[in-house]
Structure 1
Amino acid sequence: MILTNLIKQWWRTIDQQAVIAYGILIAFSFMLVTTTSSAVAGKIGLVDNYFSSRQILHLFVGAIFMVAFSSLDKKWIKRIAILGFLFSLTMLILVKFYGYEVKGATRWIRIAGFSYQPSEFLKPFFAVVTGWILSLKYQEGFPSFQVCILLYALVAVLILIQPDVGMLILITAVFASQLFIAGFPIIWIMVAFMGGFFGIVSAYFLLPHVTSRINNFLDPVSNENYQISKSILAFEEGGLYGRGPGEGSVKQHLPDSHTDFIFAVAGEEFGAIICIMIIGVFAFIVLRSLIRINNEQDKFIQLASIGLITQFGLQAVINMGVTLNLLPTKGMTLPFISYGGSSTLAIGIAVGMLLGLTKHKTSLVKYKNSDV
């Protein structure tokens, strides 16, 4: 009875339409990973349902995280985000010494038999922590900008060591959006973007895999641009209505069809109409969240939420842009749809915190009004 009342109160206070939209994305993930997994698993000697069964577990745990974090009020979200950020930062340091290499980058570490990518979890916690620190600028004398810059610089160095330029670009964009909303002088935001541009140029000349990806993007007919050419062909063959579930061939050719290029699978098997629906769901979530914080007076909620919204929306844009050859290739998943343990769980945490920050003022769990 108590649990039923708690669930009812949670449902009344939460953004119900956004929760339904997230549920639609989860349904798409189950459908697309299922149609893709057998082909990918067969090529590397695994059982047909290896990826689909693991993704079901990832989505289930991610949904639990989403509900759990959305049940908290802003003070507990802030506290957990600080602890999560410190833990993720520590793990990011350990990756340098104990991580293992995949495709030329050391971003993963094994814990208790599971692979873990600390930078995925760092993203949402960093957005909330910087949102909190930037909100303190309204307290006279607190050097919020300087503190945030130091944190950002530390995170940037640790991510570049891996290296993961795409992740750094995403985190930089999130941080810049928060600076803009916080009302910092536009000159500092321009400096941040110039620094980002300089970083990309430096990465182009210093990191061979970045050089290759940008060159392939600028020369789409290159023989090395195999994945992109297959991705574009998948959309062409899918047409308006698609070839039907399981009938596509792109998953037989792309090693990352269940992760980075799952949108191409959707285009070939379900057609342009379903792809437009997926884009529409992402757009709805972003716009809906922006509307929820439009009149928010609490600076912490406003700044943390804008960081989480930017992260969610921009990650989706990057993934789909790469698949359509609108952006250089970057190993970034499509939120809640692509296969991936760390990615799915981190997105569950991110949207859970976003739902918790944007819900109605009557909290599911009552806490004292003390702050961190």
Structure 2
Amino acid sequence: MVILPVYRTKKFKIKHMKTIWKLFMFLLTATFALVSCEDDSLDLLTGKYSPPEVYDLTVLGTQDRVKDGPLYTFSINLTDDGSNTLSMTLFSTEYILPASDFTPSNQAANKTYLLGADGTTFNGQQIIDGTISIAAQDSNYTVSGILYLANETVLKLTGAYTYAYEPDPYTPTYTYTDETVSPAMGGAQGATPIDGSTMHKITVYADDVFYAYLELVADENATSLSGTYSVKDGVNAIGQLSNGYYVDLTWYGMAGVMEGGSYYMKGEEKMFIREGDGAITITDNAGIVTITGDNLAILDLEALIGSGGATWSVLETPGDVNVTDATKL
């Protein structure tokens, strides 16, 4: 065993006592900092806003719907047994209030609720933030959300009501254009001529606003567009409708977006028609056409974009098209 000299032992102890002291002070300082940060976080959560007030609103007071341009304004009042009242001003492009999350906005926009003195309130107090979530099953609606009032009150709201919206009685005035190319080009690359055919590129307008674009293959000698057209990915025969598509070129290291084929508008969203069980039927009466289609497979655009172009699936709910008495421009 080696016995160190006394003076070295003292140095060793003094040196390490200093190190331990520095470490202790560091840990103490870090602890104070951590506690301070925690206090700051708690201040953000509990200092400005008190714990939420909870309300369950199950009585439908009033309901109104007004069309203004492309948007419908839904004014809905829900109350509880204590006469607490949620007055909502919601906007949608759909005639029947859709299931969706509605976010705050200072002006009318699809799937938002209005802020301000004439906007959404609770017991007369303006709501300034939060999301109103609405779910629907047939005519049964549920409402939920964490909402913030101008006076810094926090609300945790739930609610339910039943209201049967009537079908939209309004029928727009439809017009269309028809650009033709003979012969129609088809196949996987769209470069193969289809013998004896004409491609009709039909653009439909509802009250002068774009509604649908359809690419269909008809007989080059046909005197009308009447017929039923099946949807085909890569048209190759008369009586087919070109598949709708969407391609973001950044998926392939380039810039831009390519979209085309057949699609229609649902509110502000494009519904790309995909190959499936559905079909488009056209009745052509001396140039005045009616276009109908149901059980249409619709591209799930959100899934496609989210997968970077890997997932070409369709929505669970099929689409439909109903154009009546469209006149040719």
* TM-score bucket (shorter structure): under 0.3
Give the alignment's TM-score, normalised by structure 1: 0.20
Going by fraction, where is strand more abundant, 1 or 2?
A: 2
Higher RCO by CA contacts (8 Å cutoff, separation 6 or greater): 1
Going by fraction, where is helix more abundant, 1 or 2?
A: 1
Give the alignment's TM-score, normalised by structure 2: 0.22
